[in-house]
């Protein structure tokens, strides 16, 4: 098996990721990708939500996974974490207050550094059309919940 056909362009459609099976360290099914989240300012995929259920006795829940942790494994996505990491991952709440503190909780749970501490974060370009201002956080939150 191979990665989706759009990978021949070195690009993936979000639909190539959503619904994919996520497997763990022993090729056991962990769950499926339900949503993909793009950084509003940087136009970069940051996270996926994975619906985890019944894996090694872990109750059903949805977790936010830093996209950088997922790897292609044929048609599936591989998440190289153990049972403890899944159990300790905070349950995703799409209505929760979303800020850097929340993101830091997520990245700490998965053992990855925060992306905004990278030396080149936000310094090389802007995705905002000249003359337009970035919408408020309330606007972005309202759009997510629609």
pLDDT digits (tens, 9 = 90+) for 9-60: 677 788 889 999 999 888 888 899 999 998 877 788 899 999 987 655 556 8
Section 100-108 average pLDDT: 89
pTM for the full predicted model? 0.76
The beta strand positions in the chain, using DSSP E, are 21-23, 29-38, 45-52, 61-66, 71-73, 76-78
pLDDT value at 115 more than 80: yes
Size (the chain), residues: 146
Q: What is the pLDDT of residue 90?
A: 87
Section 128-138 average pLDDT: 65
Q: What is the pLDDT of residue 25?
A: 87
Using an 8 Å Cβ cutoff, are 11 and 4 in contact?
no
Using an 8 Å Cβ cutoff, are 25 and 98 in contact?
no
């Amino acid at each position: 098996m191979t990665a989706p056909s759009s990978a021949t362009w070195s690009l993936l459609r979000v639909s190539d990721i959503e619904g994919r099976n996520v497997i763990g360290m022993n090729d056991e099914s962990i769950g499926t990708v339900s949503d993909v989240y793009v950084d509003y300012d940087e136009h970069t995929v940051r996270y996926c939500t994975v619906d985890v259920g019944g894996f090694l006795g872990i109750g059903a829940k949805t977790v936010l996974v830093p996209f950088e942790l997922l790897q292609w494994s044929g048609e599936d996505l591989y998440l190289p974490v153990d049972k403890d990491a899944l159990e300790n991952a905070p349950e995703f709440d799409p209505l929760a207050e979303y800020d850097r503190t929340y993101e830091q909780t997520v990245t700490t749970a998965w053992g990855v550094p925060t992306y905004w501490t990278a030396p080149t974060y936000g310094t090389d370009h802007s995705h905002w059309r000249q003359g337009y201002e970035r919408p408020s956080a309330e606007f972005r939150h309202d759009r997510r919940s629609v």
